[in-house]
């Protein structure tokens, strides 16, 4: 383990689907920030930054807010992280970034050679779980004896994780993130981890998806798993497997699984990156005004590979499950929420979305507002991947339980599941839960007489102490 006084902690971020738009944008951003690159855009000369990553940027303004860098000294610096992952397509990552047409060419030019030399692991692939458009290119896959049974697939992924951590000197927490193509729903159902692992061990002919394979391997290796896709990976049985106490009591010394007993979290489902995030904030606003939301009608179109995969009826079913269910816990039965998604090749990764909100105001008079958004889809998603990994490491270091970690990170997902199932879907409410959890973990509810995190934070806002002084007090209190 690295000495915190001499070297920054190195967390691990393993991406499933590393060659996709999100994966290559993540890697390019990491290289740009690590090397402090600058590049020309259409409007100005740009310097590398972590905009959008609230764990990597500092607070701004008199009242703080925006970011947590400096407020929480134990947050990991992603510039020192180890990145890796799996990809079923053999395309070199620099070429994949160039072909994706997401980032400015001057930046792509500077990172392409290093990215082309970046090695990635073959992925577990089952063509029955993705659309037909994904089949032909999937040639970089786990195959032969290693793919012959469920158990061998799990063990291959476990070996990949162990090798990655060893080869990269990872001394922080490792998080595995699903950023591959959306899968069709799995029909495998288990009422306990024992039943699920028995199916894996005996190679039962169940409908087990690749995402479930990765999640099980992650749990057994003590790594967190983040389901950034729409598929139904998360389940009660899988959630229990991620509980360290369960693995310690049942799997650590059984001679069969030899599972890690390290803390790990199961988070999801489906990154809430753009349109859906604003929807939950907008309808939260409408409800806060006392209006009655009646219709939310939305459409979005883009032409990236993820949307191409959704041209399959089987996979689009999984996407529509989460997109249409984002307001569920509010029990607004009168709300007619309509969603349409379209694949338009020319648009590429630059998502366009249009949403109209119609509500009833005083005496039943209608209130309508409209939003239109354009942004590269990967530019919205990658900060969520980064923050998810950093939060997992932070919560592990603070000893947070799975429920607290899931509820605190619910803002990242369209439909929070697992330990966050049923939480209030309002975006600002969810950010409030994150803040309350941080106060709790940093000693905000401590009655021992120690200076609380909340008092320190408020003292900065009121101008009593500087942010630098606050950082020193927080660091001293955490020793």
Q: 444-459 pLDDT, tens per residue?
A: 644 333 455 667 767 7
pLDDT in tens, 134-183: 999 999 999 999 999 999 999 999 999 999 999 999 999 999 999 999 99
Tell which wins on pLDDT, 30 or 329: 30
Task: pLDDT band for 464, please (50, 70, 90 cuts).
Answer: confident
Task: Please state, rounded to an integer, the average pLDDT across all residues of the chain.
Answer: 91
| Cα–Cα distance, 353 to 274 (Å, whole number) | 9
pLDDT of residue 475: 54
Tell which wins on pLDDT, 61 or 151: 151
pLDDT of residue 444: 61
Task: pLDDT band for 5, please (50, 70, 90 cuts).
Answer: very low
- pTM for the predicted model, two decimal places: 0.90
Tell which wins on pLDDT, 474 or 407: 407
pLDDT in tens, 390-447: 999 999 999 999 999 999 999 999 989 999 988 999 999 999 999 999 999 998 644 3
Cα angle value 199/200/202 (rounded, 5°): 65
| Cα–Cα distance, 380 to 433 (Å, whole number) | 22
Q: Which of 62-71, 83-92, 107-116, 444-453 has the lowest mean pLDDT?
A: 444-453
269 prior amide bond cis, ω within 30: yes
Cα-flanking dihedrals φ and ψ of residue 186, to 5°? Answer: -80, 145
pLDDT of residue 336: 96
pLDDT in tens, 199-215: 999 998 889 999 999 99
Mean pLDDT of 46-50: 98
Task: pLDDT band for 34, please (50, 70, 90 cuts).
Answer: very high
- Tokens 């459409």 found at: 299
Task: pLDDT band for 362, please (50, 70, 90 cuts).
Answer: very high
pLDDT of residue 448: 37
**Residue 299: its H or E element:** strand 292-302
pLDDT of residue 474: 59
pLDDT of 234 > 50? The answer is yes
pLDDT of residue 2: 42
| Cα–Cα distance, 264 to 220 (Å, whole number) | 9
Percent of the chain past pLDDT 70, that is, above it, reads: 93
Tell which wins on pLDDT, 329 or 90: 90
Percent of the chain past pLDDT 90, that is, above it, reads: 79
2 in Cβ contact with 11 (< 8 Å): no
pLDDT of 62 > 90? The answer is no
24 in Cβ contact with 85 (< 8 Å): no
Grouping H, G, I as helix, E, B as strand and the rest as coil, residue 93 is helix
Strand 266-268 and strand 292-302: pairing?
Answer: unpaired
Task: pLDDT band for 477, please (50, 70, 90 cuts).
Answer: low
pLDDT of 126 > 70? The answer is yes
pLDDT in tens, 72-102: 989 999 999 999 999 999 999 999 999 999 9
pLDDT of 6 > 70? The answer is no
273 in Cβ contact with 313 (< 8 Å): no
pLDDT in tens, 272-323: 988 889 999 999 999 999 999 999 999 999 999 989 998 988 888 777 777 7
pLDDT of residue 452: 59
Q: Which residues contact 401 (CB under 8 A, 6 or more apart)?
A: none
């Amino acid at each position: 383990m690295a000495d915190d006084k001499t070297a920054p902690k190195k967390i691990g971020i393993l991406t499933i689907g590393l060659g996709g738009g999100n994966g290559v944008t993540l890697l390019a951003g990491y290289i740009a920030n690590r090397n402090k690159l600058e590049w020309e855009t259409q409007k100005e000369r740009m310097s590398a930054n972590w905009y959008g990553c609230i764990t990597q940027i500092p607070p701004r303004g008199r009242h703080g807010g925006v970011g947590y860098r400096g407020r929480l000294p134990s947050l990991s610096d992603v510039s020192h992280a180890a990145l890796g992952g799996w990809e079923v397509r053999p395309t070199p990552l620099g070429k994949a970034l160039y072909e994706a047409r997401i980032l400015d060419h001057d930046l792509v030019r500077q990172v392409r050679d290093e990215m082309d030399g970046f090695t990635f692991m073959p992925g577990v692939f089952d063509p029955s779980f993705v659309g037909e458009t994904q089949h032909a290119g999937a040639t970089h896959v786990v195959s032969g004896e290693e793919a012959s049974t469920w158990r061998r697939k799990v063990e291959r992924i476990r070996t990949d994780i162990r090798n990655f951590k060893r080869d990269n000197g990872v001394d922080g927490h490792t998080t595995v993130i699903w950023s591959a193509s959306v899968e069709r729903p799995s029909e495998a159902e288990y009422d306990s981890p024992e039943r699920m692992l028995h199916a894996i061990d005996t190679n039962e002919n169940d409908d087990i998806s690749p995402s479930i394979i990765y999640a099980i391997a992650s749990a057994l290796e003590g790594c967190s798993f983040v389901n950034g896709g729409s598929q139904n990976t998360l389940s009660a049985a899988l959630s229990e497997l991620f509980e360290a106490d369960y693995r310690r009591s049942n799997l650590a010394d059984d001679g069969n699984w030899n599972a890690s007993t390290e803390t790990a979290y199961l988070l999801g489902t489906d990154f809430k990156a753009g349109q859906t995030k604003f929807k939950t904030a907008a309808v939260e606003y409408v409800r806060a005004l006392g209006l009655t939301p009646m219709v939310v009608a939305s459409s979005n179109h883009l032409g990236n590979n993820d949307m191409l995969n959704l041209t399959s009826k089987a996979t689009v079913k999984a996407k529509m499950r989460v997109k249409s269910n984002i307001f569920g816990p509010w029990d607004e039965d009168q709300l007619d929420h309509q969603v349409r998604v379209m694949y338009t090749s020319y648009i590429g990764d630059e998502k366009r979305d249009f949403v109209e909100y119609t509500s009833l105001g005083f005496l039943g008079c209608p209130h309508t507002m409209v939003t239109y958004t354009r942004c590269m889809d990967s530019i919205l998603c990658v900060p969520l991947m980064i923050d998810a990994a950093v939060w997992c490491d932070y919560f592990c270091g603070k000893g947070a339980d799975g429920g607290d970690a899931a509820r605190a990170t619910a803002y990242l997902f369209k439909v929070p599941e697992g330990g966050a199932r049923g939480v209030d879907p309002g975006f600002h409410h969810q950010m409030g839960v994150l803040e309350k959890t941080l106060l709790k973990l940093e000693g905000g509810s401590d009655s021992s007489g120690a200076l609380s995190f909340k008092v320190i934070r408020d003292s900065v806002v009121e101008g009593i102490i500087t942010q630098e002084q606050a950082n020193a007090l927080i660091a001293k209190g955490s020793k």
